[in-house]
């Protein structure tokens, strides 16, 4: 079983994840939301622990009907109905507290920085 612990100092806020064998699996910078030093051989274990922590602490974001319908960018809120020519990409949509795909809808983000912040790739899971 993994454990998580929060650390903060000098304006930094981090969530560290440690495996049941006491090996550090990585951490998430809670200010930027970016993971760091994640062991690739145990990435699923790391992200599952982070998802469970977010769910347990009430930090998991509840998506709006417009976001789940792909009508607005899940990251910056750009309304694609107002700007239909804006490039957009599919990004991961997970069920609360898990890394399992959610059946409730497909999230969309603007190609570039928004998609990269949501999926790790500027092109997300593919352009629309």
DSSP string, 17-37: EE-TTS-EEEEEETTT--EES
Q: Name the maximum alpha-carbon separation found in the chain.
A: 51
Both 16 and 45 in a single domain?
Answer: yes
Say whether both 75 and 49 belong to one domain.
Answer: no
What pLDDT, on the 0 to 100 scale, is given for residue 104?
63
Asked if residue 31 lies in contact with residue 12, where contact means CB atoms within 8 angstroms, the answer is yes
Q: Do residue 66 and residue 125 come from a single domain?
A: yes
Answer yes or no: is pLDDT of 122 > 70: yes
Over residues 113-122, mean pLDDT: 78
Q: For residue range 33-73, list pLDDT tens digits in order.
A: 788 999 989 988 988 898 888 878 877 677 788 988 889 99
Q: Among 20-29, 33-42, 87-96, which stretch is predicted with the lowest mean pLDDT?
A: 87-96
Q: What's the rounded mean pLDDT across residues 90-116? A: 75
pTM: 0.56
Lowest mean pLDDT among 20-24, 36-40, 86-90, 92-96: 92-96
Alpha helices in 1-128 (DSSP H): 43-56, 65-68, 113-119
Our count of domains for the chain comes to 2
- Structural domain containing residue 13: 3-56
User: Does residue 122 share a domain with residue 91?
Assistant: yes
| CB 56 within 8 Å of CB 97 | yes
């Amino acid at each position: 079983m993994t454990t998580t612990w929060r650390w903060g100092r000098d304006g930094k806020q981090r969530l560290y994840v440690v495996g049941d064998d006491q090996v550090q699996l990585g951490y998430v910078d809670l200010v930027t939301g970016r993971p760091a030093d994640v062991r690739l051989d145990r990435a699923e274990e790391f992200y599952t622990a982070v998802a469970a922590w977010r769910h347990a602490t009430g930090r998991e974001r509840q998506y709006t009907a417009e976001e789940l319908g792909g009508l607005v960018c899940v990251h910056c809120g750009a309304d694609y109905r107002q700007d239909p020519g804006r490039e957009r990409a599919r990004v991961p949509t997970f069920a609360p507290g898990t890394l399992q795909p959610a059946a409730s809808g497909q999230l969309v983000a603007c190609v570039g920085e928004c998609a990269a912040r949501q999926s790790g790739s500027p092109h997300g899971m593919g352009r629309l």
